Amino acid sequence: MSKRFFYYELNLLEPAIIGYGTQLDNIVKSKDYIPGSTILGLFVSLFLKKGHSIYKNKSQNYTDYFQTLFLSEKVHFYNAYPIYLTLRNNVCFCYPTPLSVFGCKYYDQSKRKPVNHHFKDYVFDVKIPDECDNTKCKSALEHKNNFVYYDDKLRQYSVCKRIDMHNSSDDDLYSFEAIEKDNRFYGFISIEDDIYNKYSDIIRDMCINTDSMRIGKAKNRGYGKVEFVSPLREKDVSFMKNTNNQNQKTLSVYCYSDVIIKNEFGQSISPIPGDLIATGLNLDISLSYWKNESVVLYNAKRGMPTEKQMTIKKGSVFIYSGDKDVDVNELPMSIGYWQNSGFGKLIYNHNRLWE
């Protein structure tokens, strides 16, 4: 089913604590992006503020509007990732750092005049250099975290955070890590063509005249206030299927978000089988890079967290080849479970984003 995409930007008016309760010692950690599940919850809140109902009359049956928009998998809420404004006022969209990117451990693009240490995407490359190509360094290369953006060359970006300290009711000291205010994020909402005419105006209307929108934890303590920078607008997302020609025998698949896939027995599996992308594709393990993580979401209806799920971490990169040409435009943009909450999003041939 073909889809159309809305593009949005969110600006943090207050620090935001975004996470699933991950804790390091006495510090409650925050994610450095806004998950699709958080965006979905935000739009449910806006849906109710606009006077729509979740249930039919006083029954426990969902209304058609709520069922279609938030539970049917026909509308997907993508993760919101950072926007970086360069010193030359260029607006750059950040992506989770591909695991095919290697850099010198001394590489630090946050400095005003960074030393020219090594930082490169090695997708499709068989051989990774042993050391930094800076003649005065020669340190070993390593995977990089956080985000990347392209501005004349590939660069690294880290979201600005802060740590706030609090006292609990029994005077124990604990801390929250929070994304600093004035950080800006971009994201997408996809809607299938067969429901677009009926539901697109409702989605647009949710983002108009919105006041006191809040996301994340500690919303009643001065955290999490956000605003839409501009009204929703449709956007071409052909960058997710980068190709110079439609048909090709070898392609890279980059996980734009965490991916959850399972076998016929309900067991999480990794890596992504080629046949899940297109019939006849074979995974080249020697050129692929991936990591696994566990994730826990929050079930608002039950008022408790979900069970842990194993994910293929965002930024993972898989290389596939086949005997027949593959039409990239026919490949799925999402796979696996929880797609409406931002999971399972893919970008093909991501290396062409850096060209």
The 10s digit of each residue's pLDDT in 271-306 is: 999 999 988 899 999 899 999 998 877 666 666 677
Whether CATH 2.60.40.4350 fits 238-354: yes
Residue 239 has pLDDT above 60, yes or no: yes
> How far apart, in Å, are the Cα atoms of 67 and each of 52, 61, 116?
12, 9, 52
Average pLDDT over residues 322-349: 90
Q: Which of 1, 8, 2 is nearest to 234 (CA)?
A: 8
The top-level CATH class assigned to 3-84+161-234 is alpha beta
3-class DSSP string for 116-180? CCCEEECCCCCCCCCCCCCCCCCCCEEECCCEEEECCCEEEECCCEEEEEEECCCCCEEEEEEEC
- pLDDT value of position 209: 78
- pLDDT value of position 107: 80
Give first-to-last CA distance, the chain, whole Å.
30
Rounded to an integer, what distance in angstroms lies between the CA atom of residue 193 and that of residue 4?
A: 7
Buried b (16+ CB within 10 A) or exposed e, 83-107: bbeeeeeeebebbbbbbbbbbbeeb
Q: Count CB-CB contacts under 10 A for residue 129.
A: 14
**CA torsion through residues 146, 149, 152, 154, sign:** positive
Q: Which of 259, 276, 278 is nearest to 268 (CA)?
A: 259
Q: Does residue 132 contact residue 139 with C-beta atoms inside 8 Å?
A: yes
Average pLDDT over residues 39-63: 88
Each domain of the chain, given as residue ranges in start order, spans: 3-84+161-234, 106-144, 238-354
Residue found under tokens 């190509």: 133
Q: Does residue 334 contact residue 341 with C-beta atoms inside 8 Å?
A: no
Lowest mean pLDDT among 84-98, 130-144, 194-208, 254-268: 130-144
